[in-house]
A and B are shown apart, each in its own frame.
Chain A
Amino acid sequence: MKRLMMSVSLAAMLAVGIAAFQTAKADEPKQGGEMTVTFHDDIPTLDPAIGYDWKNWSMIKSLFDGLLDYKPGTTEIVPDLAESYTISPDGITYTFKLRHGVKFQNGRELKAADIKYSIERAVNPKTQSPGASYFGSIKGYDDVAGGKATELSGITTPDDYTVVVQLSHPDATMLHVFAINFAYAVPKEEVEKYGADFGHHPVGTGAFKLAEWTSGQKIVFARNKDYYHAGLPYLDKITFELGQDPVVALTRMQKGEIDIPGDGIPPAKFVEVTHDASLKDLIISADQLQTGYVTMNVNIKPFDNVLVRQAVNMAINKARIVKLINGRATVANQPLPPAMPGYEKDYQGYKYDVAKAKELMKQAGLADGFETDLYVMNTDPQPKIAQAIQADLKAIGIKANIKSLDQSLVIAAGGKKDGAPMIWSGGMAWIADFPDASNFYTAILGCGGAVDGGWNWAWYCNKALDDRADKANAITDPAKQAERNAEWGKIFEDVMKDAPWAPIFNEKAYVIHSKRIAGKDNSVFIDPIHIPVNYDVLFAKDAQ
């Protein structure tokens, strides 16, 4: 499963994508019209507690809402179902005042009890929600997650429109958690009516409601006329067509049959499409919160030697790899992507230096090189990139045999202590669930992730850094955020000293859309939180 792709904060976006924005003329949004989006894969479920796929993530955001949300096109948190909220000075108590008159799509009004129910449902092990652990800071979490209780003692509802959440310890990421899909409001009666099939009969408070779902073929969203954000959404209907190959989808878009190829521009068509003058205004690109990296398993010799890991970092010609993927990315020298708070602009990292790399190998006593395995996912263009890496490694004496396998098998190998010596993460790379540096550490570089089935494929475990990470996460004071981000930057710098990874590039996101679909500006097409687009704020220029 591919993960949610995040993008830059508004400031960085302005710096990077100003040209793209300036060419887009501002159109007046019109009410009405339809849009068609295509996807290659089937949509598994639209249950907010369960859906964790990059495709259904934004679809769920259009069907449901949560206490908080992000301002469209940005990573700025704003109240949504909550009218306002306050945080106690000690960072333990969050008080939310709900809007009045918000209706579920079955007609019933939203009350505080619904919020409590929805979050408890996500934590309840019976739901098997992949996002349960995000609520770990809420008091009473361990009892519910352990199956001993069904109610979270930390969530109380003094009246129908007030929700009070008490944490067991301050958590700087908590606001993001209240904005995440897993916390979205679901109506208890509908969940109980459909049981495990609620995911196929979703009922929420969102801008759209589910009108039709023909399994494997299409999903139709219809405008929620009672949506509490007056004036939104603009579109009357969105049709999602499933099972479409991305190359064919692109052709259909050019012919005007569909509006947005949900899987983006396939590598095979990339050069042709980006050089086509007629399509220029329809392609929008921006940076994402994504890094492609090579992991080196510190449990497997000789990657237990930091000199070898550093040599690998210096041996890879990252610029050439970016050229191989037609410039669809920028070279990376640290784990964090440029858009993430905590990214260090001036960090030099390991420069491409084959001679120095060979020198390091000699120092490690491996002047004659060694043989190892490089795991990669088998979909284009990952094997291509892996072969480029393989050639670079050969130049310093490392004979890397490529194991090109199905994604799930590579992930499984990475999760085994002595499974995969090297993995090229392309296609399966970690993408942040929300725009916070901690999300890029805990599961993939922290000791907590270095477990069976974990995602810390380098099996890197540095207790000192874990402690610093915990301390940074305890800094909840908004005034101290700059200090917190700076600390994160230093933590990652120290990670790079140990070089468990060789960061290669940061992939850019490309969205292409038909002429008739527009947003108030291009930012809605590369909305950091909604992939591929923010369905709520798009409109059709030809609406009657």
Chain B
Amino acid sequence: MPAYILRRLIQALLILLGVSIITFALLYLLPADPARQVAGRTASVEQVQRVREQLGLNLPIWQQYGRYLWHLLQGDLGRSYLQRSQVVDLVFPRLPATALLMVGSIFFELILGLTFGLIAALRRNSTLDQAIMAMTFVFVSMPAFLLGLLLLYFFAVYLGWFPIGGYGEFKHLILPSLSLGLLGAGWYAQQMRSSVIEVLRQDYVRTARAKGLSRARILVLHIVPNALLPIIAMIGLDIGYFMGGAVLVEAVYGWPGIGQLTWQAIQQLDIPIIMGVMLVVAFAVAMGSLLADLIAPFVDPRIKLR
């Protein structure tokens, strides 16, 4: 096991390297000139050139990347072009909020998705099943911003049960998590339904039934654990996905997550911030994937870590 984890960590580092190279290359290809942004719109061509040299943007790309990597190894993610602060000071304070939202969203995705998916599978082809399936499509087709806004208006403004956005206490977490949870629950519901139906088909289930085990026992002992396998994979994916931030929901609720920082940085071509965020996301993805692979054998003992 430890050898496996070590191997995966090394592979994660390689992934980080790969992502950083790709991101750097893409940013280099963009026609916009960050030096001009920093130097300001009234700057002369000489002044822009001077800024370009100060930022090292006149060097060949491989040299620029080398410098970036060298600083990175010393823990220096660089300074934002426009905000002039250290990237770590901009990115790291937002990570707790992003992580919280990730946990909350996955929580709601699971609660809603697994429950309704299970019900739909057990009542296969009934009207209830059809209704649940239709609802999943409605929610999956909804734009995130709109759903967030609707929930905010209904629960916070109209009913007043929750504060109108904000951050800091548990009650602030509910609505944003619910918004993201509803959007993703449809996938979990469909997958759960699909998996449960598959499991119900298995011989060992029929054997268990024939042996006279109660439905509940069969459910808990056989169906759910086996149906959970793809769900575990999805959770691993979601960890990586949500750590990238959910810019639209964050904007609606004023949630200080990493999504808004990224979006603004991309629009302003603030390269150091973009690079920093991409590294965080890549790391989260690698960790999410590792976590899912580590948990899988517990759910299905036949799977061996190789």
Contact = CB atoms under 8 A, between A and B. Distances in A.
A41 to B, nearest CB: 6
A252 B254 CA distance: 12
A160 interface: no
Interface string A43-57: 011010010100000
Contacts of A241: 254
A44 B82 contact: yes
A396 to B, nearest CB: 31
A420 to B, nearest CB: 11
B157 interface: yes
Contacts of A199: 83-85
Interface stretch (A100-108, A210-218, A468-476): A210-218
A494 interface: no
Given A130-B39, A408-B32, A452 B45 contact: yes
Contacts of B80: 44
A147 B50 contact: yes
Contact of B42 (A133, A406, A415): A133
Contacts of B103: none
A196 B149 contact: no
A411 B250 contact: no
Nearest to A45: B84
Interface stretch (B1-9, B62-70, B88-96): B88-96
Interface string B47-78: 11011001000000000000000000000000
Given A42-B264, A131-B42, A409-B30, A47 B165 contact: no
Contacts of B83: 42, 44-45, 199
Interface in A233-276: 241-245, 247-248, 251-252, 255, 257
Contacts of B30: 409, 412
A145 interface: yes
A243 B43 contact: no
A216 B90 contact: yes
Given A133-B43, A196-B79, A217 B38 contact: no
A30 interface: no
B251 A243 contact: yes
B45 A216 contact: no
A343 to B, nearest CB: 22
Interface string A143-157: 001110000000000
A131 B41 CA distance: 9
A244 B166 CA distance: 9
Given A44-B84, A409-B30, A248 B252 contact: yes
A40 B251 contact: yes
Q: Which of B37, B45, B84 has the most CB of A within 10 A?
A: B84
Nearest to B167: A217
Contacts of B47: 125, 132-133, 145
B251 A215 contact: no
Interface in A204-230: 214-217
A413 interface: yes
Interface in A35-88: 38, 40-42, 44-45, 47, 50, 52
A132 B157 CA distance: 47
Contacts of A412: 30-33
- Please report whether the interface of chain B is mostly helix, strand, loop or mixed according to DSSP: helix
Interface in B15-41: 30-33, 36-41
Given A408-B268, A409-B30, A411-B32, A134 B42 contact: yes
Given A128-B38, A407-B267, A248 B84 contact: no
Nearest to A146: B46
A1 interface: yes
B254 A245 contact: yes
Interface string A125-142: 110111111100000000
B152 interface: yes
B195 interface: no
B50 A125 contact: yes
A248 B254 contact: yes
Nearest to A216: B256
Contacts of A433: 42
Nearest to A411: B32
Contact of B256 (A38, A146, A217, A415): A217
Q: Which of B50, B93, B94, B256 has the most CB of A within 10 A?
A: B256
B43 A132 contact: yes
28 contacts: A42-B83, A42-B260, A44-B80, A44-B82, A44-B84, A47-B84, A128-B38, A129-B40, A130-B39, A130-B42, A132-B47, A133-B44, A145-B47, A197-B85, A199-B83, A200-B85, A200-B89, A216-B90, A216-B256, A244-B165, A248-B164, A251-B153, A406-B267, A407-B267, A409-B30, A411-B32, A413-B31, A443-B42
Interface of A: 1, 3, 38, 40-42, 44-45, 47, 50, 52, 125-126, 128-134, 145-147, 196-197, 199-200, 214-217, 241-245, 247-248, 251-252, 255, 257, 406-409, 411-413, 415-416, 433, 443, 451-453, 455
A-B interface, 4 closest residue pairs, ranked by CB to CB distance from nearest: A130-B40, A412-B32, A453-B36, A44-B83
